[in-house]
Amino acid sequence: MWVSPEEVLLAGALWITERANPYFILQKRKGHGGEGGGLAGLLVGTLDVVLDSSARMAPYRILYQTPDSLSYWIIAHATSRKEITEHWEWLEHNMLQTLSIFENENDITTFVKGKVQGIIAEYNKNHDVKEDDDTDKFKEASSKFRKLFGMPDEEKLVNYYSCSYWKGKVPRQGWLYLSINHLCFYSYLLGKEVKLVVRWADITQLEKSATLLLPDGIKVSTRSHEHVFSVFLNINETFKLAEQLANIAMRQLLDNKGFEEDRSLPKLKKKSPTKVSALKRDLDARAKSERYRALFRLPKDEKLDGHTDCTLWTPFSKTHILGQMFVSTNYICFTSKEEMQCSLIIPLREVTIVEKADSSNVLPSPVSISTKNRMTFLFANLKDRDFLVQRISDFLQQTPSKTCLERELTGSLNSSDDEVYGSLLSSSPQHSLSSEGERTFNLNDSSVPTASQALMTMYRRRSPEDFNPKLAKEFLKEQAWKNHFTEFGQGVCMYRTEKTKELVLKGIPEGMRGDLWLLFSGAINEMATHPGYYEDLVERSMGKYNLATEEIERDLHRSLPEHPAFQNEIGIAALRRVLTAYAFRNPNIGYCQAMNIVTSVLLLYAKEEEAFWLLVALCERMLPDYYNTRVVGALVDQGVFEELAREYVPELYDCMQDLGVISTISLSWFLTLFLSVMPFESAVVVVDCFFFDGIKVIFQLALAVLHANIHQLLGCKDDGEAMTVLGRYLDNVTNKDSTLPPIQHLHSLLTDNGEPHPEVDIFKLVRNSYEKFGSIRADVIEQMRFKQRLRVIQTIEDTTKRNVVRTIVTETAFGIDELEELFVLFKAEHLTSCYWGGSSNPTERHDPSLPYLEQYRIDAEQFKGLFKLLFPWANGAHSDPLAVRLFRLLDHNGDAFINFREFINGLGVLCHGDLTEKLKLLYKMHVLPEVTSEQEEPDSAFEATQYFFEDMTPETSMSQDAKNRSEKDDGFVRVTFKTEKVKKLNAPDYRHYLKLWNQDSKSKTERTKDLPKLNQTQFIELCKTLYSMFSEDPAEQQLYHATATVTSLLLEMGEVGKLFCATRRDHQCGDRDPELSEDEEEPSPALQDIKLDDASPKSAMLTSDDEAKDDTSVSSYSVLSAGSHEPDDNNKLRCEDIADDTVLVRSDEGDEDKKKKKKNCHAEPGADEDWAITFEQFLASVLTEQALVLYFEKPADMSARITNAKNVRQVGRKALLSVSDYEISLSG
């Protein structure tokens, strides 16, 4: 490529001159390629790799020089000889004569520089080259990365690092390249080259390793290999980036959420000396934003803009607290350097004034921020105060000015004692409803009352003897919280300190629980910024049914059935609405068991809309991936819990592992936050702490329970006994401060005929867990989660592979090992297309919620690649048309995708089928109608929507109004739970798969005589296919002659067949109404089974004369066909042997008569309706030629094809340039 001229001091150092003239020199870098250079070349090549100069030094370059000067300017460089030669020849043809005219050297230099810069500007203009943020050095490294590893332009390099790779016992110094989808390593030392390519999606373990020899190393493990890298300049940065990229890959395997670059990042300064790419900056920004959101419980889409050190004046302690201010699009947050000393969240929607205060020695560079609730926050010691204030002001202008419907805490938290006691004394639901009013949603039964308040306030029954002491204690708790609000503020802008934590550990009052849950979880922010969202979602979702709503209906009456709030329709209806609304909001989760229990408790203490947003915070932020179809998040935290148990209760860990108890208890404890294993009044205290402190509370409490029962568990002999010990302990965890009436705990009461277990106070248990295990930090938990997430997701992928293989191993002749290898290749093709694009969306091909066989699917373009590598009939340039035909045949449901079973069915016939099966497959591939532009697939978005919104009675059809409404609603939320694109069938459920299995069983009993006949155009295409299949076979000539013989025989059979139907056809043309003749003929069931539709528009099976003439797939043979053919000898197709070539020709006489007959009989242009052959005729004809029989009976070496396919896939989808000197065989 041409480059802006740069002066070079030593033109001959480390370079070899290959061409020269008075003005230009073409040079090659020493050590590049396998020729010449000697020891000096090896040393130069090694230094280039080790010192990263190879990223900046292309192997070829052109220098400009003047005859009487020692100054040189580089004007072009290239990575291949071909490219640099083109530049050299252009210079010789266009520049040399012009330069000879100049007399002054300075004029020559000025002209050359201007010309080169003009060429660069013209190239950028013509190719629409856009300026990006990457530095020149990084662009060169990225180009080298794609060159070395054969990666396409779509594969983006993120960063590269110098390190050593331990291959055996020998370290190889080189460069580690980290791209979006791959980890790659390259080393070139003294002629020895090492290349390594690992997909992030294949990594099972990524961790820092430390040994005596390698104090700082990174170990990367896959299913079959371990790779160790060491000697990093910055191992922490490298590991964090690798960890982040592996996380992206795992997320893609889990739920199809691939990586999309953030284009909103600020531009990098010009000529930055750093090599950081725009992608690296993007990923760094994402990581910081994730930590920021987790720290302050902010919505998922909040992006951190920046942070700075500062001090915050705290009126409650009259001191300035040192900490950090964080500014994002919608929030200003603060956290102290000392943990839990003070934290603060200020939504910009609450801010009224931001102003710079007067500086002083005590308060340098202060900024004052005032809010709507009359609180003022004073920040000082800000380094760049002016910029910060301007930035906040910009964000304030973007904040919507409309009043958000945020729930105000003042109403419930500042209510008078009489109001509190009044609500507590409310003895009947009717009394509460009459005082509060009703809020009606769109329900099936509009007479069902709806809960307009927390259910707990509607169902409180107090016995007189319990009233005074317990309610008095509850009153004292409420007073303590009110005093806290007075001192530290209230609402979302409240100062959160260690005192706040102490109050939470003592228990949140019943009347304040819902409001404080909203506050601590961050759900209050999402509810405030989405007014009306829940009501709209309820209105759209109620009355609509799918698999998730069926599961919800089944579990409604199992949700806290012992509580009076869920013993009538008010509580059940509220629970139904919240769960259904969330299932519609997040179809990837839909509904999972245990969500009903948690949501029931949320509804007891919060209004419906509040409970919905609490559920959103729970499922999407605080317990990520817990409630998807495979409870991945719970399995990940189960692994984290095992690691914590090994560290904190080591004497118990081995025993628990032997008993297999940890996996059992962790799922039941974590999924329901102890609500299903503890008495209700005790479990809600756990929920209080969870919303305040996050998942660490659950881990701490689980460890405390194990530690409290350590001696009993060590004496257990089996898992049943251990579960009995833990169950009895949790059953006796009590909350003596609870003002609730005793509710029977339905957790199975486990007894061992021993003494009654002593009661355990929940507040003492919680405080004990903080004292003994409070050192567990959230960032450590996240690090452990990453490690376990790799293991869990790869285990799920392995399980998927085993289940798929187990399902189809009885249906095919392939062995288990072969099927596993083929599945890996099938999945790899899917992933490659996800990485580098394809003709369809990745989410349409991979849906983890589907049954195992349907999770990975490929489209026609992907199938072409696998066809060339694995299928015996693949033959060079002629493979694609045959692959498309086979793909359409295997695509039984017509959705433009095939799953692994369909793929194996096709491959199995070609590799293990007998002669008849292979010929039948070939025959059926050509019976299918051709695909033309006229046959466009119908829009199926409405079909998918209709499936989801269908009524329970299948006979009920949707009215036009309903259709219009569903189409209109598509813009709101996609309500189908299956993300695959629906073409001809609705979104699959179990009934769909039963139908498919039934069809599969029917297809096995298909009889030969049921196959439809092959018409003339289809026969010609079959002949083309046969000729193209043999073009590179050793017995090519024998196969061609055999094919010519078979073709002649079949042509004669077709012509004979015409004689029997010619009279009937003439009679039909004379007697029938032409407009009705086609409509009256119905295709046979056999035709429908093979997807042949004779009534398809203009029969897309036909090829034009021009297409036939241009077709090169017949090798040394030509097949010509046009028009229909009479039984007359002059017009009959003939097969003539001319030397070694066979040409199918026909006479052109009688065109006018044929046109008239076609017009009268509605014949399709270019084809003879009466000409046809059957499969029996085709089979019998092939059996007459021994060469064809041997070809189709030839066994296929599948293991060799699989090995070759794996090698090709390892190199990469884009082949290395064959002319390049970089092609050095892998060695060492």
Q: Is the dihedral of CA 592, 593, 597, 603 positive or negative?
A: positive
Helices marked H in 256-384: 278-296
What angle do the packed helices 762-773 and 680-693 form, to 10 degrees? Answer: 30
Distance between CA 767 and CA 790 in Å, rounded? 33
Distance between CA 43 and CA 47 in Å, rounded? 6
* Closest among 62, 115, 65, 109 to 89, alpha carbons compared: 62
pTM of the complete model: 0.73
Secondary structure (3-state) at 1187: helix
Q: Is the dihedral of CA 390, 262, 973, 691 positive or negative?
A: negative
Distance between CA 198 and CA 183 in Å, rounded? 5
Whole-Å CA distances, 573 to 206, 447, 694: 47, 11, 29
Instruction: Give me the pLDDT at residue 589, please.
Output: 87
| Distance in angstroms between the alpha carbons of the first and the last residue of the chain | 33
Distance between CA 565 and CA 572 in Å, rounded? 8
Judge whether 38 and 30 are in contact, CB under 8 Å. Answer: no
CA angle (852, 857, 862) in 5-degree steps: 150
* pLDDT tens string 621-662: 999 889 888 889 999 999 999 999 999 999 888 888 888 788
Structure tokens at 1173: 């052959």
Collect the ranges in the chain with pLDDT lower than 50. 34-36, 53-56, 130-131, 269-273, 402-449, 746-752, 932-991, 993-995, 997-998, 1000-1005, 1072-1165, 1212-1228
Distance between CA 899 and CA 1118 in Å, rounded? 37
Distance between CA 793 and CA 635 in Å, rounded? 9
In which residue are the tokens 């009895």 written? Answer: 728
> Exposed (0-12), middle (13-18) or buried (19+): which is 159, by Cβ within 10 Å?
buried
Structure tokens at 520: 């601590």
Instruction: Give me the pLDDT at residue 172, please.
Output: 86
Distance between CA 495 and CA 406 in Å, rounded? 19
760-761 vs 343-347, strand pairing mode: unpaired
* Closest among 492, 482, 270, 518 to 377, alpha carbons compared: 492
Instruction: Give me the pLDDT at residue 1090, please.
Output: 36
In which residue are the tokens 């039964």 written? Answer: 445
Q: Where are the beta strands (DSSP E) in 15-169?
A: 15-20, 24-29, 60-65, 72-78, 157-167
* Closest among 1175, 1055, 1046, 1165 to 1117, alpha carbons compared: 1046
Judge whether 1047 and 1023 are in contact, CB under 8 Å. Answer: yes
Residues 195-213 as b or e (16 or more Cβ within 10 Å = b): bbbbbbbbbbebbeeeeee
Judge whether 1046 and 1181 are in contact, CB under 8 Å. Answer: yes
All domains of the chain in start order, with CATH: 2-126 (no CATH), 136-255 (2.30.29.30), 298-398 (2.30.29.30), 410-622 (1.10.8.270), 632-786 (1.10.472.80), 823-946+979-1006 (no CATH), 1011-1193 (no CATH)
Judge whether 844 and 978 are in contact, CB under 8 Å. Answer: no
What angle do the packed helices 1016-1029 and 1036-1071 form, to 10 degrees? Answer: 170
Instruction: Give me the pLDDT at residue 134, please.
Output: 59
* pLDDT tens string 199-242: 999 999 999 887 766 678 899 999 888 999 988 888 999 999 99
